[in-house]
Amino acid sequence: MASISVFGIGKLGLPLAASLANKGYQVIGVDLNQNVIQAVNEGRSPHYEPGLAELIKSARGHLSATEDYHYALQNSDISFIVVPTPSEPDGSFSTRYVEISAEQIATSLKDRHNFHVVVLTSTVLPGATEGVVKPLLEKISGRKCGEDFGLCYNPEFIALGSVIRDFTHPDVVLIGESDSKSGELLAEIYRNVCENEPPIVRTTIYNAELAKISLNALITMKITFANTIAEICERMPGGDVDTVSRMLGFDSRIGRKYLSGGLAYGGPCFPRDNKAFASFARRVGCQARLSLATDEVNQEQVERIVRLIEQELDGVKDKNIAILGLTYKPNTDVVEESAPVKIASSLKQKGARVSVYDPAGMGNAKLALGERIKYAGSVEECLTDAQLCILATPWEEFKKLKPEDFTTRMKKPVLLDCWRLYNRSEFSKKLEYMAIGLGPRC
């Protein structure tokens, strides 16, 4: 079995490393964060991700971490680069962290005489792997790509909150390869790791790079279209976005995923990847009008929700508003580009008294929102004396709430259910129930 090094063991890199180690590979994680290194070597998870702590424990003996990149490279046959690629002002991706990892790998390749495969997993724009990474590796190492070492672009189609399952049960594995030998070595790893025998698409590096950002750009369009359907349904007698989306999902050309209709999309990938797609299109002389429109409509969603609340409460100044859920999706602690956080900020700016609660994202939310918000320690505390509650993130904990949980604690029990978690008929009997994507009853 090939031995593997993973450069960057953050929220995506560490689950990838642990999943590989759990399948019997010897994996060395490389990182600069001493707290992360210590946690991994002690068998603990330094990140919030469902199932990761258990996976790290089960991988003991096969997974280790270090900041010594030379040691990691000399003791591995394949190196994955899973580092951040921050957005630039024009929407493109910076490769500065990728370049640092590539330089480290290239320095160590000087001393190696056997074939080594370098796999870039971080999201980059088309041309970055062969235009930036490949020349860097060749120049510093003095070796030839495709002959002395291999290079692949292998993006993961995974989501925070389900990283481990997405990695071991992918819909597809995409490999952009510099040479067939490297592509086959990487494909063999996935045949061993994946539990669902996914299709493995092997293509040029350029096509793989474009496919990655194209996929995420297309998903954002799908989400935004569903949100538009939801808004239309709210203005129709008996309108129901779930009924419409369910029908659309039966068509094999469309599918049901990402057609829920609710709040704006957020997180560390979708917003920036959509902008990056438009940025790359401009670079090659095209106009990605759909991507630009998608971003514009998504940006409007937050204020649309705020307007609904203002209309319901006849203004929000000095009104007590509770928000349940702050992360951009359940099962993660990430609040980056989170619609609930943006809603909380907008309401506070308009003079509302905002109380918030989230099962995992409170620490990160405090960094984003500051001290202007009341951070509750429980659902009960968050709802106390509220005049309106926004159910903003569909956490499993919130699905169990009953009408009485709202009526006994809120000053004026008004609920805005952004994901239609609750039974409208049951809740409407005991409190004023509003839902995104549902129109007035016929």
Residues with catalytic roles: 269
The alpha carbon torsion through 229, 232, 234, 237 (nearest 10 deg) reads -120
Phi, psi of 395 (to 5 degrees): -65, 150
How many CB atoms are closer than 10 A to CB 345?
18
* Look-up of token digits 């997405």: 166
Residue type, 274: N
Asked if 77 contacts 4 with a C-beta cutoff of 8 angstroms, the reply is yes
Phi, psi of 318 (to 5 degrees): 65, 15
Residue 106 in tokens? 């290239």
Please tell me the distance from the alpha carbon of residue 175 to that of residue 183, in angstroms, as a whole number: 7
- Close Cβ partners of 264 (under 8 Å, ≥ 6 residues apart): 227, 298, 299, 301, 302, 339, 342
- Close Cβ partners of 249 (under 8 Å, ≥ 6 residues apart): 255, 256, 257, 259
Phi, psi of 275 (to 5 degrees): -65, -40
Asked if 49 contacts 329 with a C-beta cutoff of 8 angstroms, the reply is no
How many CB atoms are closer than 10 A to CB 212?
25
Residue 64 in tokens? 């280790």
